[in-house]
A and B are shown apart, each in its own frame.
Chain A
Amino acid sequence: MLSFTQVSHHFGTRTLFRELTLSLPESRVVLTGANGSGKTTLLLIAAGILPPSQGVVSFNQLNVADISLRRQIGISASKVNLPGFFTVTDMLAFHGRQFNCVPDCLWADYRWVNAFGLTPFLNTRVEDLSLGNYKKLSLILALMHSPELLLLDEPTNGLDDKTRSALEECFETYAGQLIIASHEPQVFASNCSVRHLHLDASGVHDR
């Protein structure tokens, strides 16, 4: 379960969250909100990669800032800049090694690479990938180590129909907690036990 306790966050003089206390026991959560409302920031804070100005975020009673929790969390967000000078293969190999999850097969035969249709781009540099292919790579990196908490920022942006279908299939079968920030509230169309949260200037509200 992901929980926020008295979390506040400011960018300069602008306050994004003020003493936010929130528990998310649901396995599927969708965050909606206008541009700049703080959806991505909330995900970065939840992943433990952006320390909040105040407060604590924990996952299964452990502070997300704890390094040991990184293996349990996967994040895909446009703000998480990937090393552009790596080829896709280098990037996957590097990431797999860091999380001890290098598959036994070739990258071309790897489950997610195949499902997302990234095989033709394995030798392409990350900085040369199109928006959609960059998103696919980012999603694969988030999924690779089978995290218990998956945080996805606009996961369907720029994806083709085939990849969208593969992603929806993934959402349906994914065993851990899945939190998605999206402008598309129907991202979990076939799943009824979804909690919808809306972010605006006054805070986070159930919808």
Chain B
Amino acid sequence: MVTSENFSLGLYLSFRIINEKKVRIYSGGLVNIRFNSSGNQILAELVWAEFVSPQVFLSTQQRHQLSMQTGFDRLLALEALPHITLYPHQQETVLKVLRDMGGRAVLADEVGLGKTIEAGVIMKEYLLRALVKRILVLVPASLVSQWFEELNYTLKIPFQVQNGSLPWTTDLIIASIDYAKRDPHRSQILAQHYDLVVVDEAHKLKNAATQNWRFVNGIQKKFLLLLTATPIQNDLKELYNIITLLKPGQLKTYREFKREFIKDKRTPQNVEKLHLLLQEVVVRTSRRETLLNFPRRLVKTLVVERNTQEAEFAERTFNYLRQVYNRKDGASKSVLPLIVLAREVCSSPAAAVATLRKIIAKSGSITASERAELKEIVAIGQNIGLSAKAKELINLITSTSEKVLVFTEFLQTQTYLAQEITRVGIEVTVFHGGLTLAEKDAAINAFRHEKQVLISTEAGGEGRNLQFCHILVNYDLPWNPMRVEQRIGRIHRLGQTADVLIYNLITRKSIEEDIVYLLQEKLRLFTDVLGGLENIITSSGDSFEKIIADAFLGSRSRLEATCILKRLGDDLLSRRSAYVKLQKHTDQILGVRG
């Protein structure tokens, strides 16, 4: 229970009993003065005559003077991170949150304007100024690794991912919100006191009756950042719930808010007053306001024809996959290994052969006839020399003197390509998750200064500076659009001055052909900076990958698969336009010039 000031001591000290805890409050003057004992070292030096020269003494004094922090007049984070340059709108947002909003804000910039980096810089700034020590970052599961890489590599904040092994008392922690809100984690988190909590995709907190909202509301935190490009989706109540979570009472009680500001569910009244109240807690910048000109993305899809052996290898592998897929009943249908193999076939025979060998080696998992069949497939795969895609890639590389960044999903493909490209006399360097930090740095440096080609896997290059290169080749295509976007994001980012050329290498009449169609024609992923992809592709139940796998492996004919993919494409298209509309509606309510 809260009781008002129970008793007071002297002029300054008073206590409050809050939830049965005695909290000391200094209400009348500054008495909370503490002396740091680290200066004892200096007194010891003075007493034991461990003196420095007057020059050193005075320069130390000057150094201290120069490093003094006075309010938030300058961003220390930017001085500590010289490789980061913030856009003016980002810098403005960061300063606004720190100075005017007191570290409690909804970062609602339009998609693609860098909310993550803004939140990261705010975190860094607070950490550098020792105003926060414990930070909890709650994000959707699919974004955990992206946040981890952004915070660790770009912003140099040593966050750890909660994978079940970390205690919740860890100072800097990233967790999936769905994981964190479940007991026993929930109760452990609610028992902590965090200095700063960051919630990405905060529109998932739009409903105050949900577990998500109650969970975040229950966390004790000094500062709170909520990141969402769409704080309003259908109803103004959603906006109210998000703001109330951030700053209870900012929009008064819901009944009062409704009476004062809601005309109907989606239309506000007293708009100017509402804008003023929202401006105290919401920062939103529209793309037009920033006057930013991102370099263009130019996409070219190179369709190659498989040679006879490759075609046979792919056909027979897919037949095998279809057999296995259709044999599995609903309950035991674990399609993930099948999806991986299917993707490997699309990538390179080398990658698929390695997996097929493993399947053959596993005794008991397949029948004797299947084993014989697989052995034959492996034999075909091994005899394929230079694949059509690899040949096309080499042609592409030799036709230009520019740096080329090649992405593949599989290590075997990476090794295979490195061998083939080196064979024609082109210098290549590789980058993958298995390298040590020093090796990774060396690989990037080699690519920057010496080698023409860098072959990287998905794990590679996250948060690394690769803007000096502007040609990207998708040697194989991930079946997850977010991964494709992340690949492009390696070079299509701040600091890129040239137009980005994206080459998609695909084989005719393959799954990749359909994926490219979906990504390009429906999502316009390669050419537009759409952002909010996570919202668009995950609003349906199944993952994108699974739908594609079901279409290809479960369909009885190519026509049926095409129909399924067409439906998926239409669905994506409508979700995309709904998302764009939503952004405009949000701008109107938040009073942002669109």
Chains A and B belong together in one complex? no
Residues of A in contact with B (beta carbons under 8 Å apart) = none
